[in-house]
Homo-oligomer: A and B are copies of this chain.
Amino acid sequence: MHGRLTHMDWGVAPGRWGEPRTSSHTVGDALDPRTLAFAHAHLGPAGSAPAPKEPRVDPSRLSDDRVGELFAGIQARTDDDARARLSRGMSYVNLLSWRSDEPVRVPDAVLFPRSHEQVLAILSVCSTERIAVVPVGGGTSVTGGIDTPESDAVVAVSMDRMRSVLDFDEESALVTVEAGITGPELESFLNPRGWTLGHFPQSFERASIGGYIAARSSGQSSSGYGRIEDLLIGAHVATPVGTWDVGGYPAQSSGPDLRHLVLGSEGALGIVTSAQLRVRARPTLREYTASILPGDFAAAASAVRALTRSPLRPTVMRASDPAETEALLTMSAPRGVTGWAFATYVRLRRARPGSLIILGFESTSESTVGAMRAFARETLGERGAVSIGNGPGRAWERGRFRGPYQRDALIDAGYLVETFETIVPWSQLKATHERLSNAARNALGSRAYVMAHISHSYDVGASLYFTVLAGGRSDPSESAQQWRRAKATIMDALVDSGAAISHHHGVGRDHLTWFGLSIDGVSTDVLRRVKASVDPRGIMNPGALVPGQGGGP
């Protein structure tokens, strides 16, 4: 009905992140064979997983006529392809579900509003009719944030038709965009004008601004540009009770800042239809460097901490633990002068390689980059770091969005590959790193490869981002179960250590149990009341945010 979209419209085949270089902005390379070789060497051969397949989809509980009547004038689809595609996100478990024969829950219709008013109309109708609504931006949630909830009727609201730039106040460095716009689209608007948002999460190529806001995202250049909450100045939100405008000031002391209810709202408090964002001068100078710091991960953390606490902090900072350092260097061993320097270093130290530290310096000013570079060199130098040249840093920058493509290939080859992340104060970093590494290893078996890095750091603490590699099961459903069990063990350990449920992946459905354990009763009731205020019938993304609330309206 209403005109069928082709695969070309979606851009990618379902059940995969996509083919490298499908997007005009992509920098994803084809998978380096050394990645597979590394997995094979550490984990043994894993066979292969079935390819993504046409899913078995229950018939829609909303007839085309009913959809046309309820949502008159709004583009809609009820075909299996659209409903399956908009039924889940991009977690490992989500991706496996495309390869499995088990049935998945899918929405009864997919709606494509073109304006704030159309979104308002949809939410009003769904509230009256008690139809659950799942907002979908880029569809890249890795926490089950857009998985179809159990409910009598569910519609997915795609923000795909709301991707315009609405206003650009260049003097104030404020851009206003429809929330369905993706990072590459916004950068394509800003870059030729000399500006950038500077928000580059690994989902950059596909995620939408609305998704960033709903999941409280943070990008790889967060040291320089801040998190999405540092970039969001105001939001225009459609809710079942009407329009909700929050923020709009550079800063204020006019009561509680309700932007921070919309940030992290996980689609459960309304749909952000447009956002006012702070932009920065696009850096004309970009340098990336790599060093190896001897010693354990605590030494690397201490170096990053010292770098973070200066106004001259690098724009990008990433410090890998020894396990990740070994993996990265094996997977992309430096050659030439760098390789020689690195080999010499390793020979002299006769030790594990220490921690790979990648730094990026971005600015429009030569003297600023110079000051940043000098400060970093001094800080790392006095800790005995050995530069391995600009090559690995540049390689990291070129491959910074490659992770999800590699995951596709590793899943194809039958491996379990997933990430989890948290944040703690500096004083708890070492203990939390060890505890979570061990929890993951214990949960996944002795042959699992568990590695971590710091990629977002603050004066008072830092994130820990873990990647796990293990042999999968031949049945994708069993692999999913294997990971679900491991993840539960890891999350228990995480909550028990007092670490945050998530630094930048969000809550969604996958983290809801542990989110509920991590906040107190008063906070839970406050969230429940806020939800009741803006969504009295409980139709908005049920089960994705408020602990103790069921799946459906």
Contacts and interface: CB of A to CB of B under 8 A. Distances in A.
Most buried by B among A224, A363, A519: A519
A345 interface: no
A372 B530 CA distance: 44
Given A246-B523, A459-B278, A533-B522, A264 B260 contact: no
- By size class, the interface of chain A is 35 or more
A195 to B, nearest CB: 11
Contact of A460 (B173, B262, B502): B173
Interface stretch (A236-244, A397-405, A441-449): A236-244
B242 A456 contact: no
Contacts of A520: 243-245
Given A311-B312, A368-B311, A374-B367, A245 B459 contact: no
A427 B250 CA distance: 12
Contact of A241 (B233, B372, B522): B522
B511 A254 contact: yes
Contacts of A325: none
Interface in A498-553: 498-507, 511, 515, 518-523, 525-530, 532-534, 545
Contacts of A266: 255
Interface stretch (A67-75, A85-93, A212-220, A475-483): A212-220
Given A243-B520, A245-B520, A251-B456, A425 B174 contact: yes
B310 A427 contact: no
A426 B525 CA distance: 39
A171 interface: yes
Contacts of A433: none
Contacts of A528: 533
Copies in the complex: 2
Nearest to A143: B253
Contacts of A216: 252-255, 257
B244 A523 contact: yes
A310 B423 contact: no
A79 interface: no
Given A523-B246, A529-B529, A533-B529, A256 B251 contact: no
Contact of A523 (B245, B458, B511): B245
Interface in A360-375: 363, 365, 367-368, 371-372, 374-375
B502 A254 contact: yes
Given A227-B251, A254-B511, A311-B313, 15 more contacts: A172-B428, A173-B426, A174-B425, A218-B253, A229-B257, A244-B526, A249-B461, A251-B456, A255-B507, A256-B530, A257-B263, A365-B375, A526-B530, A528-B533, A529-B532
30 contacts: A171-B426, A172-B426, A173-B459, A215-B253, A216-B252, A216-B253, A241-B522, A243-B520, A244-B523, A244-B526, A245-B523, A246-B523, A249-B499, A250-B462, A252-B423, A252-B500, A252-B501, A253-B505, A254-B518, A255-B265, A256-B260, A256-B263, A256-B265, A258-B523, A310-B365, A312-B312, A367-B374, A368-B375, A522-B534, A529-B533
